[in-house]
A and B are shown apart, each in its own frame.
Chain A
Amino acid sequence: MVARRLGLGVLTLFVISLLIFGAVELLPGDLAQEILGQSATEETVAAFRRELGLDLPAYQRYLTWLGGVVQGDFGTSLANGRPIADLIGVRLGNTLFLALYAAVIAVPLALVLGILAALYRNSLFDRAINVVTLTSISFPEFFVAYILIVYLSQTGFFPSIARIDPDAGLGEKLYRTFLPALTLTLVVTAHMMRMTRAAIINLLASPYIEMARLKGLSPARVILKHALPNALAPIINVVALNLAYLITGVVVVEVVFVYPGLGQLMVDSVSKRDITVVQAAALIFACAYVLLNLLADVLSTLSNPRLVHKR
């Protein structure tokens, strides 16, 4: 079953690679013309196109590109000729670091808040937590980011520019990137927390929950031991979606805090018509989505004894 799921994942990636390549093809404008400027003669432009391989038919360029990617070679940047793997490597590391930082705060926080909200459902605490998380998710990310800068940076607690030195120690890095991580936490917590709460409450009318109560168990034990294990599948899936978002959806936050992540690189490359870099970044984002969803599927399966232990 897992093998089939893996196969589907690979197929999805293949389709995505087609889509990415096709979409980039549709972008208006011509890179050679762009680089050489309006004054270039037609011959020079044609020669330059040949040099870049832009004169070949699309399917040939696609196959060459895909063949390289499969071997880990993303080609070279059209804009400055540097290998893309080098360009992306550091940026990807930064993006993953920030995503992990935010996830380490947000996931446990969301689960704990969700469980507490389910335990004290309809209480003042439940309502308060719902209002707060919903408010934070309702504002655009840059707004949340600027609010945090006003209150936490201009008062001198944390730096508002998260430019990090690769050689800095972990403590220094965590301190410098605290504000972007907090912004992301505020953005993703509500979704996960509300799903946790809903998945648990959904089960509270089940006969086995009544049975647990009639065994005289404490409300906390009923929720943690009897409801939560059966609510894991939907929770895992929402967590995976949010983790994927933390990797791929952080462009705005990176821009606000001047954080050298992959999102910023992608935006820059789009404006420079650096097609190969855009393709590579898009493919990496797609991979993150596919892998995390794959992981979620496998974990949900493992959380269900009916699928793990056959009759």
Chain B
Amino acid sequence: MTTAEQTPLLEIRGLRIEGRSEGKWNEIVKGVDLTLHRGEVLGLIGESGAGKSTVGLAAMGYTRDGCRISGGSIRFDGTDLRSAPMRERRRLRGNRIAYVAQSAAASFNPAHRLIDQYCEAPVQHGVMGRAEARADAVDLYRRMRLPDPEDIGFRYPHQVSGGQLQRAMTAMAMSSRPDLIIFDEPTTALDVTTQIEVLAAIRDIVEQFDTAAIYITHDLAVVAQMADRIKVLLQGEEVEEADTEAMLASPREAYTKSLWAVRSHARPERPPAGPEETPVVSVRGVTAAYGEIPVLHDVSFDIHARRTVAVVGESGSGKSTTARVITGLLPPSAGDVRFNGTALPPSYRARDKDQLRQVQMIYQMADTALNPKHRIREIIGRPVAFYLGLSGKRLTERVRELLSLIELEPDEFIDRLPSELSGGQKQRIGIARALAAEPQFIICDEVTSALDQLVAEGILTLLDRLQSELDLAYMFITHDLATVRAIADEVVVMKEGKVVEQGGKTAMFRPPHDPYTELLLSSVPEMDAHWLDRLLAERGELPAEE
């Protein structure tokens, strides 16, 4: 595929990038080299903060606000992007180098139709006329297997589903037939079943046009399907680089090995609770709607003390709505939620302080769930004061205990602001805040999906330990089956607001499955470069359009 004497399409040497925080410039990319030949796909992996996206954007000669390139060179097909004038760089962007962003929903302009956004780059760069670009858009929409390719372009972004938008964005990146596309975590925000369609479509189109690509992701199994070579980054430095198969078979560096190892973690299922034991939380025949739109249909399941029930399903399946019903934010139209055998009032307004105290939540985005102006002392102290009535010295003492419980040094953390914490530490504070109420039951809503694998691992271990120590019951909402494998005792599979299957974890991961569970399970990428090929061959066709 590549020969040594060919001049590379992209050659980055000793790239250094600085980011500005709190008035100081800190190096965030520390001398990265990267070589990419025509038609080649390089996978760039690492945790958040590793500098993957920053390097990807630098390949377009672009840095985000508050960042600057401080050293090294970036040569694209003979042009030095660092020294080239702005006008020259703009001529390349969207024309010969294109970008596919993580969230298509946020990266399409809400004010314009898809096809107009498609045509913009080729028309502005003079690659083709508007009429020609429009015809071309329909062709590419068809190649990306979008439904209704003739008309889908005339919709606005909000009228198209997430998976379809991501494919429309890949089509848009192709519009000027670039030599290089930067894919920045293009499937991270998608459900596993949708992810497969997008991965397959991206891979096909990159092959069809022989486009070179940098594929950025934190998901090793995904990058294994897409890349010819893989480069691992850690805190702005390269760890190692090798051909995909070699990297998967025998990673050299300890860090890479540790990334590989995370996925093998799994806690054995605890024995099911006896029939005489009253469940802590019992959801019974709950039906609920947002206004006129029905969301949940007759949902029933039990959660016992010291057990974790994982609720899985694609986005829109009703997982979070179930949590809203349990917490009383959304009163159900039929059915009820029982706590230790007694029915809770449907609305949180009607629940007394003790009932409120018993049900706590931990959220997906620890970033937005913590008040940025409050110190840790206040964030954890408020529920302690509110629910348990402690104050003064006893309050501080309790906050310190809680901090020790979540394995953060009290002296060091008690007076920090959320902005002075890492993602994993913020999530730990979220856990401490839930524990502060001394509940029996905690709802964990996708608590690890915004975190890197190693950090997520730490959070899961912590939750596990707290469960055994404090006899907690967890409801774990997730779309990640690896997390389920790691932490659950029982699994509830939801689809379109209904429970399609439920039972013990071990049984759930062993065939035979309900067809939908089977689809979910088989859609989880595996650490095998040929997994996607095999899966597509097995399924024959791509799954039907949503």
Question: Which of A193-220 touch B at CB < 8 Å?
Answer: 205-208, 210-218
A126-156, CB under 8 A of B: which get 1 and which 0?
A: 0000000000000000000000000000000
Most chain B Cβ neighbours within 10 Å, of A208, A212, A215: A215
* Interface status of B159 (Cβ within 8 A of chain A): yes
Chain B residues within an 8 Å CB radius of A306: 110, 156, 158
**Could you tell me if A221 and B101 are in contact, using CB atoms closer than 8 angstroms?**
no
In whole angstroms, what is the CA distance A210 to B99 when docked? 10
* Interface status of B422 (Cβ within 8 A of chain A): no
**Could you tell me if B107 and A211 are in contact, using CB atoms closer than 8 angstroms?**
yes
* Interface status of A229 (Cβ within 8 A of chain B): yes
* Known contacts A217-B94, A221-B124, A311-B159, A206 near B106 by CB under 8 Å: yes
> Can you list 24 residue pairs at the A/B interface with Cβ under 8 Å?
A207-B103, A208-B106, A208-B109, A210-B107, A211-B99, A211-B101, A211-B107, A213-B62, A213-B93, A214-B60, A214-B62, A214-B93, A214-B94, A214-B98, A215-B93, A215-B98, A215-B124, A216-B90, A216-B125, A218-B90, A225-B112, A230-B111, A305-B110, A306-B158
In whole angstroms, what is the CA distance A225 to B124 when docked? 12
* Interface status of B141 (Cβ within 8 A of chain A): no
In whole angstroms, what is the CA distance A216 to B120 when docked? 10
- Cβ distance A307 to chain B, nearest Cβ, rounded Å: 10
**Could you tell me if A305 and B124 are in contact, using CB atoms closer than 8 angstroms?**
no
In whole angstroms, what is the CA distance A211 to B101 when docked? 8
- Cβ distance B57 to chain A, nearest Cβ, rounded Å: 8
**Could you tell me if B92 and A216 are in contact, using CB atoms closer than 8 angstroms?**
yes
In whole angstroms, what is the CA distance A54 to B80 when docked? 87
**Could you tell me if B124 and A216 are in contact, using CB atoms closer than 8 angstroms?**
yes
- Cβ distance B128 to chain A, nearest Cβ, rounded Å: 15
Question: Which of B65-121 touch A at CB < 8 Å?
Answer: 65, 89-95, 98-99, 101, 103, 106-112, 120-121
Chain A residues within an 8 Å CB radius of B57: 214
* Interface status of B64 (Cβ within 8 A of chain A): yes
Smallest CB-CB A-B distances: 5 pairs? A215-B94, A216-B93, A229-B111, A216-B94, A207-B106
In whole angstroms, what is the CA distance A225 to B57 when docked? 23
* Known contacts A208-B109, A215-B93, A230-B111, A305 near B156 by CB under 8 Å: yes
In whole angstroms, what is the CA distance A307 to B294 when docked? 22
A-side residues, CB < 8 A to B, are: 205-208, 210-218, 221, 225-226, 229-230, 305-306, 309, 311
In whole angstroms, what is the CA distance A33 to B101 when docked? 78
Chain A residues within an 8 Å CB radius of B107: 207-208, 210-211
**Could you tell me if B90 and A217 are in contact, using CB atoms closer than 8 angstroms?**
yes
**Could you tell me if B93 and A207 are in contact, using CB atoms closer than 8 angstroms?**
no
Chain A residues within an 8 Å CB radius of B90: 216-218
Chain B residues within an 8 Å CB radius of A226: 109, 111
Chain B residues within an 8 Å CB radius of A225: 112, 120
**Could you tell me if A217 and B120 are in contact, using CB atoms closer than 8 angstroms?**
yes
Most chain B Cβ neighbours within 10 Å, of A207, A211, A216, A229: A216
CB < 8 Å neighbour of A215 from B64, B120, B155, B156: B120
Closest residue on chain B to residue A216 by CB atoms: B93
